[in-house]
Amino acid sequence: MQQYDIVVIGGGIAGLAAAISAKEHYEGEILILERENQLGGTINQCIHNGFGVSTFGEDLTGPEFVQKFIDKINKMGISYKLDTAVLNLSPTKEINAVNTYDGIFKIKAKAIIIATGCRERPRGFSNLAGTNCAGIYTVGSAQKFVNIEGYMPGKQIIILGTGDIALKMASRLSIEGANVKAIVESKDYIDALDKKLSNSLNDFNIPLRTKQKIIAIAGKSRIEGVTLVKLDENNEVIKGSEEYISCDALLLSVKLYPDNELAKQAKIEIGSSTGQILLNEKSQTNIAGIFACGNVALGYDFSENVVNQSQNIGIVTTQYLKKYNI
């Protein structure tokens, strides 16, 4: 069984920031476990700028922002394993993991930091009627296809929802030559935390259809179009307002949900309404020696806030080890 002082589960920006902070305050062995083939998490696919102003005093793209943390990880000699899935996490701080290099292996840690982030909810949460045809993606999946894999999800695109990623992808797809035919929102305002993103819709002449929703999806093997209806002030369908729009791709701006499955295995307390890992006034979970940082504890938040909270968790973790001389 491999043994480490601190194991960080998740190599996104939260996990990296926590590991660096812990190493700055503690000389023990730290290991980061990351299921993707590179460190940095979803910010790697955010190629727009706007990152790093508070942290580094620079206006950086997502990959540039991440690389500064990765460079520091390598400089400090912090170990990490990529393409590694954590299978189990116990309350006694034992981890079962697997990758192609080590096979299935066990790790015993003195302290663990969970930094597993958020995941997109599946299509079912959008309550869309219609066949399960190809061409329907979450906006996060589409972002990865375009910015990381180099594939376009379609040419004639409709986006359902107005979260931050949805609005960013609308302009990104337009730049790549797609025709974003409509962004559909059931509310009378956009959901994005960054309200300035709505300005980009005007720049690319992308229609924003508020107080509307999709009631039907057409297509068998692949999506061919959707039917929209208008909503009144009580969110009731206005009769006779049906409108069919053809498309070959539908992107869903679904809500994000904390990736808390490992925390549940370890019997860590989870917020019943939010799904977030609950932290006490000392920034600890209910299990001694297990901590959490980033979006799995905060919910979806700006990257700079995630960094600040994660750096604090790194310090709190080292204080725990020093206090109990573990």
Give per-residue pLDDT as tens, 122-176. 655 566 766 678 999 999 999 999 999 999 999 999 999 998 899 999 999 999 9
The residue among 175, 176, 204, 202 whose CA lies nearest residue 190 is 202
pLDDT at 36: 95
Three-state secondary structure call for residue 117? coil
Three-state secondary structure call for residue 72? helix
Question: Going by CATH, does the domain composed of 2-119+256-323 fall within 3.40.960.10?
Answer: no
pLDDT at 323: 81
pLDDT at 281: 85
Could you tell me how many residues make up the chain?
Answer: 326
Q: Strand pairing partners for 226?
A: 217, 245
Mean pLDDT taken over the chain: 92
**Chosen CATH of 122-252 out of 2.40.30.110, 3.30.365.10, 3.50.50.60, 3.40.50.300:** 3.50.50.60
pLDDT at 1: 83
Residue 161: which residues within 8 A CB-CB, separation 6 or more?
139, 183, 184, 185, 191, 252, 253, 254
Residue 277's pLDDT band (cuts 50, 70, 90)? very high
More confident residue, 186 or 122: 186
The residue among 253, 126, 128, 121 whose CA lies nearest residue 191 is 253
Would the pLDDT of 314 be above 90? yes
Per-residue pLDDT tens digits for 221-266: 999 999 999 999 999 999 999 999 999 999 998 888 899 999 999 9
The residue among 69, 75, 64 whose CA lies nearest residue 18 is 69
CA 276 to chain centre: 13
pLDDT at 162: 92
| C-alpha–C-alpha distance, residues 28 and 75, integer Å | 15
Tell me how many helices (H) and strands (E) the chain has.
9, 17
Residue 287's identity, in one-letter code, is I
Query: What is the bridge-based pairing of β-strands 290-292 and 103-114?
Result: parallel
> How confident is the model over 298-310, as a mean pLDDT?
86
> How confident is the model over 25-33, as a mean pLDDT?
95
More confident residue, 123 or 276: 276
pLDDT at 240: 94
Dihedral over Cα of 184, 188, 194, 199: its sign = positive
Largest CA distance in the chain: 71
pLDDT at 5: 97
Residue 230's identity, in one-letter code, is K
pLDDT at 228: 95
List every span in the chain annotated with CATH 3.50.50.60. Answer: 2-119+256-323, 122-252
